[in-house]
């Protein structure tokens, strides 16, 4: 689809002015483009706030207030009688308190009382396009009620106790029976509670500055809020967002684009169309290199009636290193759907070319309600077609309300590491069952809405592909007052008796995401020191790069890198680029984009600036020591230990070479789905020679490297050359 890039950027954004010389300071009165939210455009091209109540009649869709013709909310209706700052009817303190921006129907109840749970009261509200917030739980001891009949308990459930409930006798702070540390630990309401304060597991441990801290640079604009991202086989990044009432770019049909393709060479973007709302979707690559994006949320027809319901959506994006003519092609949606609705699903590409898709909310409603949880997985085949079965994973049942966007990694024996809340296991997809329960990770919650980050460290031929996972960061509850957790756990899930080895980051941090680098270190970026995931729920942005060296001894693994000046809060991403730098984009902590801090309750805003972080390995003199002229003997590699050669030029005093095979996967909400790296065996390095021709042994099987697109980085004395795409089959 041909697109017209809207150059009408808001004059209020200074960065936009610098990058786009075509900024029009005034709005277009026929299209309305050019004004901030809550404003409209007069015929003379100036923007004014609308404060005219035109029709107070409540709307069917639960929207209200200034942006919706002054519509009021029906207190007896499906949503609640208060109109929030963002124009949503509801009845939580976020909707009703004037201090929180309530526009109409406000009830100024005490700010200190815990927020009521947003219970779905309407018979069939269908779904929600907002994000229900799990309020800070109350941990009143309520051990006096009847025994549970459905596994719910505690103050919010009539004081029910767990009794002999099979999953366990502790009533969690969120009102679920179980026996994990999330149930019996901090906040436990009744039953055999341990009650010991278990967070944080370790205090932050100061770390020295890296000798080469690296540097940040703003390079462009993302076009759309960068909620999801992936590096495509044409070397460009794709950004994918939800349906919004503003982005920087429009499609030829006059609607805002919600996806963009970003070229890191020219630092320009172009718009991509999609047909179903990809809000908080999951993704991974098919074996043929096509990116699949799955699940999402309800349509927002009053904003854009060309985009449909995304709960079961399956979207394809095909790019190729060999065919530039398809660059810019839109997402394709041939019409096949997921078996079950999934909002916040996680994906993992599997050894046989299929795709594991797990978890999600069935309807976007309150995650603390049992019937909203989709605690299952389904398998899509190599063409992205579902097997039509959604099979329960008990761990996701037990993790409620922390079941969304679970952490998943394919282990080198073909099983999966699955982690949600504070608990994890080894799961067999073929056997449809848990193979091994792993010990709970001490500390706070680690997955949505208090996510930390997970990486599986690079697999190496040298240690026979032994897997180790590292999880860092997290938080205590879904509120802006939540502390964040500085601790990390590291474990080999396949060890006979796995234990978490605990470590601490240099600072408390939530929404922190880990990206593997081809020198074997891990960069942890983005997030905040206080708060949680959800709209306007985080503050104290964490701006510093944290560098983790897994090979260093415990206590000496962390150093700190450069700091950005740009907060990267909820809905931010980080992607390793072909040239070995890290692209950082996003931060859209608002329900709908706001382009200036004054429109955000915490003084943040939707961030369109794209930054590149240059890691230590390309800083200073290192930039001159990169291997160059890298030529692979093949662009397609069987995962059967077959060999190929790589020619390149290296500094004549270089000492050693490593070859990293990297798959960046699909990135969203600090979760890097299917990310993995393998260091391959090499032969033939000639000390002192500038012209090198080495023989590389490929991965032994598809458990180590499932089929799909990878990048080969040649790393000489720790400095990577520019990566080259290769397909693993
Ligand atoms: C203003 O919007 C109208 C309607 O979308 C469009 O036809 C026109 O070209 C726009 N004017 C400018 C100056 O962009
Ligand atoms: C990969 O397979 C999908 C599903 O069959 C198809 O839509 C897509 O065009 C294929 N991609 C390539 C690069 O052939």
- Average pLDDT score over residue span 364-374: 91
Closest of 520, 514, 510, 522 to residue 548, by C-alpha: 522
User: Same domain for 192 and 229?
Assistant: no
Q: What is the pLDDT of residue 86?
A: 72
C-alpha of residue 290 to centroid of ligand 2, in Å: 6
Instruction: Say whether both 557 and 658 belong to one domain.
Output: no
- 244 and 379 fall within a common domain: yes
Whole-number pLDDT of residue 14: 28
Q: If you write DSSP's letter for every residue of 237-252 in order, what string do you get?
A: EEEE----S--S-EET
Q: Sort residue 618 into left (φ over 0), alpha (ψ -120 to 50) or beta.
A: alpha
Q: Which ligand is nearest to the CA of 41?
A: 1
Same domain, 268 and 168: no
Q: Does any domain span residue 227?
A: yes
The residue whose CA has the least distance to atom 14 of ligand 1 is: 28
Chain centroid offset of residue 384 CA: 21
Does the C-beta of 727 come closer than 6 Å to ligand 2?
no
Q: What average pLDDT does range 338-357 have in this prediction?
A: 98
- Nearest ligand for residue 22 CA: 1
pLDDT of residue 107: 78
- Is the pLDDT assigned to residue 689 strictly greater than 70? yes
- Cα–Cα distance for residue pair 329/325, rounded to 1 Å: 9
Closest ligand to the CA of 29:
1
Instruction: Tell me: do 585 and 684 sit in the same domain.
Output: no
Assign 16 a pLDDT band (cuts: 50, 70, 90): very low
- Together in a domain, 189 and 231: no
Ligand 1 atom showing the smallest separation from residue 28 Cα = 1
Model pLDDT, residue 140: 52
Ligand nearest to the CA of 33: 1
Confidence (pLDDT) at 90: 81
Please give the pLDDT value at position 598.
Answer: 85
The answer to whether residue 174 scores a pLDDT higher than 60 is yes
- Contact assessment for residue 372 and residue 361, using Cβ atoms and an 8 Å cutoff: yes
Counting every residue, how long is the chain? Answer: 729
Ligand 2 within 6 A of CB of 514: no
Taking 80 as the threshold, does the pLDDT of residue 7 lie above it? no
Average pLDDT, the chain: 89
Cis peptide before 497 (omega within 30 of 0): no
**Closest to 136 in 3D by CA, of 362, 527, 449:** 449
Instruction: Quote the ligand 1 centre to 372 CA distance (angstroms).
Output: 44
**Which pLDDT score, from 0 to 100, does residue 185 have?**
86
603-630 pLDDT tens trace: 999 999 999 999 999 999 999 999 999 9
- What CA–CA distance (Å, rounded) separates 434 from 424? 10
Residue 13 Cα to ligand 1 midpoint, Å, equals 21
Same domain, 171 and 240: no
Ligand nearest to the CA of 234: 2
Whether 701 is in the pocket of ligand 1, judged by its Cβ within 6 Å, is: no
* Closest CA to ligand 2's atom 4: 383
708 lines ligand 2 (CB under 6 A): no
Whether residue 28 has its Cβ less than 6 Å from ligand 1 = yes
Name the residue with the closest Cα to ligand 1, atom 5. Answer: 31
339 and 308 fall within a common domain: yes
- pLDDT-based confidence at residue 46 (cuts at 50, 70, 90): low
Q: Residue 435 corresponds to which tokens in the numbers above?
A: 């193979």
What backbone torsions phi and psi does residue 95 show, to the nearest 5 degrees?
-85, -35
CA-proximal residue: ligand 1, atom 4 (nearest): 31
The CATH number that applies at residue 155 is: 3.30.60.10
Question: What are the structure tokens assigned to 299, written together?
Answer: 């349509």
* Interatomic CA distance for residues 231 and 577, integer angstroms: 7
Sheet strands (E) in 500-635: 501-504, 513-516, 522-525, 528-531, 538-541, 544-548, 558-563, 572-576, 582-586, 609-614, 628-632
Q: Whose CA is nearest to atom 12 of ligand 2?
A: 288
Ligand 1 centroid to residue 607 C-alpha, Å: 26
How far is C-alpha 316 from the chain's CA centre?
A: 19
Q: Which ligand is nearest to the CA of 355?
A: 2
Point out the ligand nearest to the CA of residue 31: 1
CA of 354 to the centre of ligand 2 (A): 13
Q: pLDDT by residue (tens digit) across 111-152?
A: 333 333 333 333 333 456 677 788 666 555 556 789 999 999
Q: From ligand 1's centre to the CA of 254, what distance in Å?
A: 10
Residue 156 lies in a domain: yes
pLDDT band at 60 (very low <50, low <70, confident <90, very high): confident
Tell me if 289 CB under 6 Å of ligand 2: yes
Q: What average pLDDT does the segment 447-476 reach?
A: 97
Candidate from 7, 24, 28 with most ligand 1 atoms within 8 A of CB, to mutate: 28
Residue 564, domain CATH: 2.130.10.80
pLDDT at 72: 87
* Pocket lining: 253 vs ligand 1, CB cutoff 6 Å: no
Is residue 634 lining ligand 2, measured as CB closer than 6 Å?
no
In the chain, % of residues over pLDDT 90: 74
48 C-beta neighbours (distance < 10 Å), count: 12
Q: Are residues 493 and 395 located together in one domain of the fold?
A: yes
Q: Work out the average pLDDT over 18-31.
A: 44
Per-residue b/e over 316-349, b at no fewer than 16 CB within 10 Å? bbbbbbeeeeeebebbebeeebbbbbbbbbbbbb
Final residue of a domain: which of 148, 171, 197? 197
What is the number of helices (H) and of strands (E) in the chain? 4, 49
Residue 299: partners with Cβ closer than 8 Å, 6 or more residues away: 129, 243, 276, 277, 305, 307, 308, 309, 310
How far is residue 25's CA from residue 405's CA, in Å, rounded to a whole number? 41
Q: Does the CB atom of residue 7 touch ligand 1 within 6 A?
A: no
The CATH number of whichever domain residue 705 belongs to comes to: 2.60.40.10
**Mean pLDDT across 259-275:** 98
- Sign, CA torsion 589/594/595/600: negative
- Residues pairing with 220 in the sheet: 610
In a domain, 126, yes or no: no
Q: Is the CB of 286 under 6 A from ligand 2?
A: yes
Cα separation, 475 vs 477, in Å, equals: 6
Say if 105 falls within a structural domain: no
For residue 40, what pLDDT is reported?
A: 60
- Is pTM beyond 0.85? Reply is no
39 has pLDDT over 90: no
| Ligand 1 proximity of 43 Cβ (cutoff 6 Å) | no
- 673-681: average pLDDT: 98
Q: Is residue 558 part of a domain?
A: yes
Residue 317 CA to ligand 2 centre (angstroms): 9
- Among 618, 649, 678, where does a domain finish? 618
Does residue 606 share a domain with residue 640?
no
Q: Give the ligand at the shortest distance from the Cα of 708.
A: 2
Distance (angstroms) between ligand 1 centre and the Cα of 3 equals: 15
Counting the structural domains of the chain, the total is 3
Q: Is 383 in the pocket of ligand 2 (CB under 6 A)?
A: yes
Tokens representing 288 are 């043929």
User: What pLDDT was estimated at residue 96?
Assistant: 81
Ligand nearest to the Cα of 45, by number: 1
Strand-strand pairing, 522-525 and 676-683? unpaired
Q: Is the shortest distance between the CB of 31 and ligand 1 below 6 Å? A: yes
Q: Is the pLDDT of residue 89 over 70?
A: yes
Query: What is the predicted pLDDT for the residue at 54?
Result: 54
Distance 608 CA to ligand 1 centre (A): 23
- Asked if residue 689 belongs to a domain, the reply is yes
For a pocket test of ligand 2, which of 290, 322, 353 has the largest count of ligand atoms closer than 8 A to its C-beta? 290
Nearest CA to ligand 2 atom 3: 383
Q: What per-residue confidence (pLDDT) applies to 195?
A: 67
Q: Do residues 184 and 229 both lie within one domain?
A: no
What integer is the mean pLDDT of 342-357?
98
Same domain, 536 and 458: yes
293 CA distance to ligand 2 middle (Å): 13
pLDDT of residue 31: 64
Question: What is the structure's pLDDT at 106?
Answer: 83
Nearest ligand, CA 290: 2
**pLDDT value of residue 196:** 63
* 643 is a domain residue: yes
Out of 572, 599, 618, a domain closes at 618
Regarding predicted confidence, which is higher, 198 or 396? 396
- Residue nearest ligand 2's atom 9 by CA: 318
Of 7, 26, 27, 31, which is best to mutate to test ligand 1, by the most ligand atoms within 8 angstroms of its C-beta? 31
CA-proximal residue: ligand 2, atom 2 (nearest): 383
Q: Which of 120-129, 223-232, 489-498, 712-721 has the lowest mean pLDDT?
A: 120-129
Ligand 2 centre distance from Cα of residue 318 (Å): 7
22 within domain boundaries: no
The finding on whether 30 has its CB within 6 A of some atom of ligand 1 is: yes
Ligand 2 mean position to 291 CA, how many Å?
9
**Spacing, Cα 10 to ligand 1 middle (Å):** 16
Q: What pLDDT shows up at residue 595? A: 87
Ligand 2 centroid distance, CA of 385 (Å): 12
- Provide the CA 216 distance to its chain's centre, in angstroms: 21
Q: Which of 357, 370, 345 is nearest to 286 (CA)?
A: 357
Q: Indicate whether residue 382 lines ligand 2 (CB < 6 A).
A: no
Full domain range(s) for residue 668: 626-728
Closest CA to 364 of 306, 278, 313, 296: 296
Residue 354 predicted with pLDDT over 70: yes
Residue with CA at minimum distance from ligand 2 atom 14: 288
């Amino acid at each position: 689809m041909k697109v017209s890039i809207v150059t009408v950027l808001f004059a209020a954004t200074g960065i936009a002015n610098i990058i786009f010389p075509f900024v029009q300071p005034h709005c277009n009165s026929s299209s309305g483009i050019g004004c901030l939210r809550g404003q409209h455009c007069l015929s003379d091209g100036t923007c004014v706030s609308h404060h005219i109540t035109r029709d107070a009649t409540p709307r069917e869709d639960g929207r209200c207030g200034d942006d919706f013709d002054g519509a009021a909310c029906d207190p007896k209706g499906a949503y609640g009688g208060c109109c929030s700052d963002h124009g949503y009817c509801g009845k939580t303190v976020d909707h009703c308190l004037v201090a929180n921006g309530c526009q109409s129907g406000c009830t100024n109840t005490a700010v200190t009382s815990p927020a009521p749970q947003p219970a779905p009261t309407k018979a069939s509200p269908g779904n929600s396009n907002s994000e229900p917030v799990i309020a800070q739980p109350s941990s009143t001891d309520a051990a006096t009620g009847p025994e549970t009949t459905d596994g719910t308990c505690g103050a919010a459930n009539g004081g029910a106790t767990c009794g002999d409930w099979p999953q366990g006798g502790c009533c969690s702070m969120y009102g679920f029976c179980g026996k994990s540390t999330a149930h019996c630990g901090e906040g436990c309401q009744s039953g055999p509670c341990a009650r010991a304060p278990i967070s944080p597991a370790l205090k932050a441990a100061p770390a020295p500055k890296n000798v080469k801290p690296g540097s940040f640079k703003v390079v462009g604009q993302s076009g759309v809020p960068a909620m999801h991202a992936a590096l495509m086989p044409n070397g460009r990044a794709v950004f994918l967002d939800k349906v919004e009432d503003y982005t920087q770019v429009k499609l030829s049909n006059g609607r805002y684009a919600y996806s963009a393709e970003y070229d890191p060479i020219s630092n320009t973007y172009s718009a991509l169309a999609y047909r179903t709302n990809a809000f908080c979707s999951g993704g991974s690559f098919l074996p043929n290199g096509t990116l699949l994006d799955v699940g999402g949320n309800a349509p927002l027809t009053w904003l854009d009636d060309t985009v449909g319901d995304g709960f079961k959506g399956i979207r394809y994006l095909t790019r190729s290193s060999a065919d530039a003519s398809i660059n810019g092609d839109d997402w394709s949606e041939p019409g096949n759907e997921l078996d079950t609705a999934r909002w916040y699903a996680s994906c993992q590409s599997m050894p046989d070319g299929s795709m594991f898709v797990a978890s999600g909310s069935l309807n976007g409603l309150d995650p603390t309600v049992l019937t909203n949880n989709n605690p299952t997985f389904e398998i899509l085949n190599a063409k992205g077609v579902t097997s039509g079965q959604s099979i329960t994973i008990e761990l996701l049942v037990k993790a409620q309300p922390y079941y969304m966007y679970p952490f998943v990694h394919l282990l080198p024996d073909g099983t999966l590491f699955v982690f949600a809340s504070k608990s994890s296991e080894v799961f067999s997809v073929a056997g449809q069952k848990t193979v091994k329960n792993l010990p709970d990770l001490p500390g706070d919650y680690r997955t949505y809405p208090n996510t930390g980050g997970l990486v599986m460290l690079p697999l190496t031929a040298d240690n026979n592909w032994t897997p180790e996972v590292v999880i860092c960061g997290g938080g205590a509850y879904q509120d802006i007052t939540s502390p964040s957790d500085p601790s990390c756990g590291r474990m080999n899930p396949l060890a006979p008796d796995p234990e978490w080895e605990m470590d601490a980051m240099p600072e408390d941090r939530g929404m922190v995401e880990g990206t593997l680098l081809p020198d074997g270190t891990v960069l942890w970026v983005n997030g905040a020191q206080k708060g949680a995931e959800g709209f306007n729920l985080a503050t104290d942005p964490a701006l510093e790069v944290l560098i983790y060296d897994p090979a260093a001894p415990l206590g000496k693994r962390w150093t700190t890198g450069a700091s950005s000046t740009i907060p990267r809060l909820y809905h931010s991403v980080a992607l390793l680029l072909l040239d070995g730098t890290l692209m950082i984009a996003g931060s859209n902590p608002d329900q709908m984009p706001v382009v200036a801090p004054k429109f955000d309750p915490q003084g943040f805003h939707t961030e369109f600036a794209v930054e590149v972080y240059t890691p230590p390995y390309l800083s200073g003199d290192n930039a001159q020591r990169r291997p160059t002229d890298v030529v692979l003997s093949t662009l397609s590699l069987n995962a059967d230990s077959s060999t190929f050669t790589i020619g390149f030029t290296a500094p004549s005093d270089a000492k050693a070479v490593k070859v990293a095979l990297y798959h960046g996967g699909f990135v969203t909400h600090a979760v890097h789905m299917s990310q993995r790296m393998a260091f391959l065996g090499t032969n033939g390095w000639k000390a002192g020679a500038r012209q090198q021709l080495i023989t590389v042994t490929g991965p032994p099987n598809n458990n180590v490297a499932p089929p799909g697109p990878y990048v080969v980085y040649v790393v000489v004395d720790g400095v990577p050359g520019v990566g080259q795409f290769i397909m693993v089959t």
